[in-house]
Chains A and B, each alone.
Chain A
Amino acid sequence: MCRDLTKQFGDFYAVNKISFEVAKGEIFGFLGANGAGKTTAMRILCGLSFPTGGTATVAGFDVCKQQEHIKKNIGYMSQKFSLYENLTILENIEFFGGVYGVSRREIKERSNKLVKTLGLESEAKKLVGALPLGWKQKLAFSVAIFHQPQIVFLDEPTGGVDPVTRRQFWDMIYEAAAAGITIFVTTHYMDEAEYCDRISVMVDGKVEALDSPANLKKAFNADSMDEVFYQLARGATRSGD
């Protein structure tokens, strides 16, 4: 939940009074052009950065006062950083499980189950660096939700992944959402935007559109989300990362 959330750097409004609510178990697509302010907003919601104005709560905790509580109750994964390449699959699970305070006994039980579900039994003791990208991403997602967080933030989780693995990844997202985990996801693939329950599109620090993919397409008289996004982001005056 966000109300008028703002982050100002000098006289530059990276995030300008954004407001939205995400329901439990919802798949929420957080879209925007490069430089629209997505990353800044995500950092605040993950408890890594303070807003300069407005309020927001994540998993019921305040982003200004309860950052540490937020960190314990969320999962995070991005394309750029997800797992330690020079640790084995099991070591990564153990490490991240430990960081999030999952008990040793539980880590052991659940990691064996997880490795089996992913079909990685014979690779469990291999270094993550040796895995193909698609498998790394699937494993990274499983690790991000290993401590059963209330919400998981996914920052371009499928970038560069082959089309089949990309879809398998979304199967996992659906499964997690069905289990009650809220999904907050960014992507540059507009077909993936269609898989979300609702989408927000940020332009120049503001949320310019927020609705279900079907309603957005209707409102913009467009056949695809690609077109909706293009119509919205074309007017952007700033660009950047």
Chain B
Amino acid sequence: MNAVTLHKITKTYGEGKVQAVDEVSFEVKKGELFGLIGPDGAGKTSIFRILTTVLLADSGTATVAGYDVVKDYRAIRNRVGYMPGKFSLYQDLTIQENLEFFATIFGTTIEENYDLIKDIYDQIKPFSGRRAGKLSGGMKQKLALCCALIHKPEVLLLDEPTTGVDVVSRKEFWAMLKALKEKGITILVSTPYMDEANLCDRVALIQNGKIMSVDTPEQIISAFPVKLFAAKSDNIYKLLTDFRADAHVDSCYAFGEFLHVTLKANPEVGVDKLQEIAAAKGHANITVKQIRPGIEDSFIRLMNDSVHAWDVVQ
């Protein structure tokens, strides 16, 4: 059974001038940890708002926990936990008060579903008398997750929970999501960080309101159509411009300490070819190797295959 379905969902703003979501269709299976991966402005938040029944789509249909987002909006609201991208708890209430407030709204108590939030709540419990507005980013995030879980939702909808959060807190947060998934909760989570795709069962890559690909991270990576090479030299920026200027090179992007390069033809001799180009330009300490692509390589490839961001806005 599918916990979330979208069928050709379309949403425009400004009387049709801005196409935020463009015929988006995908399904999230029950018990799945599903990632919606894309940059700001891709349409992620609009999709979340449609699924949480706070925004009406222009066209298309969607269901959450088996209920229609338009007809059965009340049923959905009782069955989903939602963590918006922007911190939306009551800043003047303490941790404890916020949690009690959300429990009461949903007709339950903190005790009733305590086992679900225990692991997360324990980390912020020492500060339970502190006002939410005075909490650090990481603690706010944990409190918001507790509040979204307090009524034991079937589906958890998390809109960019890790944006602007440091590496350590991001790792902790994903460990929490994994634990929740094991308790049988379906999770739809969005993120602009491509590396987080690998932590999901399946992902949808979204750009300019359109879904570019839906699959497991493994499958998306193995669908990368050409051979990919990593290269570096003593002068990485010059190497980037030299490669880009070369007629044999199809694409060249910086990835950490390496450049990721694809060639227009003869990829089987790619390593030698790239060595040769770099050497001819006088580079020293050249390293070239063939590598396995990552999600970000796939995303860039898919992006370049579709229209450029700017054209859509026009």
Do A and B associate with each other?
yes
| A241 proximal to B (CB < 8 A) | yes
Contacting pair A225 B256 (CB below 8 A): yes
| B40 proximal to A (CB < 8 A) | yes
Contacting pair B256 A161 (CB below 8 A): no
| A179 proximal to B (CB < 8 A) | no
Of B49-57, B66-74, B162-170, the segment with at least 4 beta carbons within 8 Å of chain A is B162-170
For chain B residues 147-201, which have a beta carbon within 8 Å of chain A? 163-169, 171, 192-194
- CB-based A-B contact count at 8 angstroms: 106
A131 to B40, CA, bound (A): 12
For chain A residues 156-197, which have a beta carbon within 8 Å of chain B? 156, 159-165, 167, 170-171, 174, 178, 188-191, 194-195
Across the interface, which residues of B come within 8 angstroms of A34, CB to CB?
A: 136-138, 164-166, 169
| A230 proximal to B (CB < 8 A) | yes
Q: Mark A49-83, 1 if CB is under 8 A from B, else 0.
A: 00000000000000000000000000000000000
A224 to B240, CA, bound (A): 20
Across the interface, which residues of A come within 8 angstroms of B171, CB to CB?
A: 230
A194 to B254, CA, bound (A): 10
Across the interface, which residues of A come within 8 angstroms of B41, CB to CB?
A: 132-133
Across the interface, which residues of A come within 8 angstroms of B38, CB to CB?
A: 162
| B299 proximal to A (CB < 8 A) | yes
Across the interface, which residues of B come within 8 angstroms of A130, CB to CB?
A: 313
Contacting pair A156 B164 (CB below 8 A): yes
| A139 proximal to B (CB < 8 A) | no
| A26 proximal to B (CB < 8 A) | no
Across the interface, which residues of B come within 8 angstroms of A163, CB to CB?
A: 39, 194, 253, 296, 299-300, 303
Question: A146 to chain B: closest CB distance in Å?
Answer: 22
A163 to B207, CA, bound (A): 11
| B309 proximal to A (CB < 8 A) | yes
Given contacts A213-B257, A240-B137, contact A164 B167 (CB under 8 A): no
Contacting pair A188 B167 (CB below 8 A): yes
Interface size class, chain B: 35 or more
| B139 proximal to A (CB < 8 A) | yes
Residue of A nearest to B309 (CB): A132
Given contacts A132-B309, A170-B254, contact A161 B166 (CB under 8 A): no
Contacting pair A224 B40 (CB below 8 A): no
| A233 proximal to B (CB < 8 A) | yes
For chain B residues 221-260, which have a beta carbon within 8 Å of chain A? 237, 240, 253-257
Given contacts A162-B309, A165-B309, A174-B237, contact A194 B253 (CB under 8 A): no
Contacting pair B167 A226 (CB below 8 A): yes
Known: A35-B136, A132-B313, A239-B139. 14 other contacts (CB 8 A): A34-B165, A135-B309, A163-B299, A163-B300, A163-B303, A167-B253, A174-B237, A189-B193, A191-B255, A226-B167, A230-B168, A230-B171, A239-B137, A241-B136
Q: Which 3 residue pairs of A and B lie closest in terms of their CB atoms, listed nearest first?
A: A240-B136, A162-B39, A160-B40
Residue numbers of A with Cβ under 8 A of B are 32-35, 130-135, 156, 159-165, 167, 170-171, 174, 178, 188-191, 194-195, 213-214, 224-226, 229-230, 233-234, 236, 238-241
Listed A/B pairs (17) with beta-carbon separation below 8 Å: A34-B138, A34-B165, A34-B166, A35-B136, A35-B138, A133-B40, A135-B309, A159-B192, A162-B38, A162-B303, A163-B253, A163-B299, A164-B303, A191-B254, A195-B254, A234-B168, A239-B169
